[in-house]
Homo-oligomer: A and B are copies of this chain.
């Protein structure tokens, strides 16, 4: 089976690495010159709007998916009109606009922070009255890794925020004084069967995920699964979906969904029986899903900007290196490492070593 992937970044790369053993081949479409999945398949180097390239992509694959949530809606529709596109285009677009995403959560009974759409400078004043301060002003579209966001702490911050990201559709969200940020990685098959990985506790810095730790008995597990199921069933979702939540006052507040494999699920390559990458491929290929069970205590640490040397990393026991084949650059995700251990105490020891290496490589 030949699988087409819109996007050829690290997620596409890890999908291909998981897919070859299942006898899948890969075609990527990505406008980037430095597309790190390209060595692992055929790379159609073209814009997402290039219909000739998209047509070539469609005739060369059996099923298409994406590793990038900002694939233009027109591109998704073009592909879906020719070959199966999974998850379907409506799952892609559901998460592309933060306002309609929040409205979907509301409608399905998934709790969200207070929010208001903001189209003008005047509307921003009005929205702040509704949400209170602090609050976060975000572009409705194309935001990721903290880009297109401004935190409003006091009334004087509104002008600066507006000057920076105003003039496009925005949403103001009440700032959530959260205790934790978690995500729930789920997978849904063509037959509607669902499986859920252990809830992951995420730590961000500068809006970028730094560490992700699956929790063995998280008190939020059932609630997170319930909300993920509501969304997945509503969208008739097929594939892996990530759902990010805040935990505040012991309850969940939905942040956002990503209709794809997700950075907070990278630990599943070694830490779960079947990884998020293999399960995404199983789902879109119509195969039975693999077990999402945790193998051992584990933690994933991102390499941001640059990575420690392989010589240093390989010396840490049960550490699994994942470089993405990308040129180092400030704030760019260039790789990650997953640590496994036989106990939480041992995991902490290894993590201390790893964190020292990571801090050194980023400085």
The answer to whether the Cβ of A287 comes within 8 Å of any Cβ in the partner chain is yes
A31 to B214, CA, bound (A): 46
The answer to whether the Cβ of A320 comes within 8 Å of any Cβ in the partner chain is yes
The answer to whether A288 and B273 have CB atoms under 8 Å apart is no
The answer to whether A20 and B325 have CB atoms under 8 Å apart is yes
A residues 306-362 near B (Cβ < 8 Å) are: 310-311, 314-315, 317-318, 320-323, 325, 335, 340
Secondary structure call for the A interface: mixed
Chain B residues whose C-beta falls within 8 Å of the C-beta of A290 in the assembled complex: 314
The answer to whether A23 and B287 have CB atoms under 8 Å apart is no
The answer to whether B310 and A291 have CB atoms under 8 Å apart is no
Residue of B nearest to A317 (CB): B291
Contact of A310 among B285, B322, B335 (CB under 8 A): B285
Contact of A39 among B21, B41, B287, B321 (CB under 8 A): B41
A residues 33-56 near B (Cβ < 8 Å) are: 39-41
The answer to whether the Cβ of A282 comes within 8 Å of any Cβ in the partner chain is yes
A21 to B323, CA, bound (A): 5
The answer to whether B314 and A23 have CB atoms under 8 Å apart is no
CB distance from A42 to the nearest CB of B (A): 9
The answer to whether the Cβ of A262 comes within 8 Å of any Cβ in the partner chain is no
The answer to whether the Cβ of A17 comes within 8 Å of any Cβ in the partner chain is yes
One complex includes copies of this chain to the number of 2
The answer to whether A321 and B22 have CB atoms under 8 Å apart is yes
The answer to whether A40 and B23 have CB atoms under 8 Å apart is no
The answer to whether A21 and B320 have CB atoms under 8 Å apart is yes
A335 to B320, CA, bound (A): 25
Chain B residues whose C-beta falls within 8 Å of the C-beta of A41 in the assembled complex: 39
The answer to whether B310 and A22 have CB atoms under 8 Å apart is yes
| A314 with B288, Cβ < 8 A, contacts A21-B321, A22-B323, A40-B20 known | yes
The answer to whether the Cβ of A295 comes within 8 Å of any Cβ in the partner chain is yes
CB distance from A338 to the nearest CB of B (A): 10
The answer to whether A291 and B273 have CB atoms under 8 Å apart is no
Query: A280-299: contact bitstring with B at CB < 8 Å (1 yes, 0 no)?
Result: 00100111111100010000
The answer to whether the Cβ of A181 comes within 8 Å of any Cβ in the partner chain is no
CB distance from A8 to the nearest CB of B (A): 14
Residue of B nearest to A322 (CB): B21
| A325 with B288, Cβ < 8 A, contacts A40-B40, A295-B295 known | no
Chain B residues whose C-beta falls within 8 Å of the C-beta of A287 in the assembled complex: 310-311, 314
The answer to whether the Cβ of A236 comes within 8 Å of any Cβ in the partner chain is no
Contact of A318 among B273, B314, B340 (CB under 8 A): B273
CB distance from A341 to the nearest CB of B (A): 10
CB distance from A285 to the nearest CB of B (A): 7
A-B contact pairs, 20 of them (CB 8 A): A13-B20, A17-B17, A20-B40, A21-B321, A22-B323, A23-B325, A23-B335, A25-B39, A39-B40, A273-B318, A273-B340, A282-B314, A285-B310, A286-B311, A287-B311, A287-B314, A288-B311, A289-B314, A291-B317, A295-B295
Binding site for B on A (CB under 8 A): 13, 17, 20-23, 25, 39-41, 273, 282, 285-291, 295, 310-311, 314-315, 317-318, 320-323, 325, 335, 340
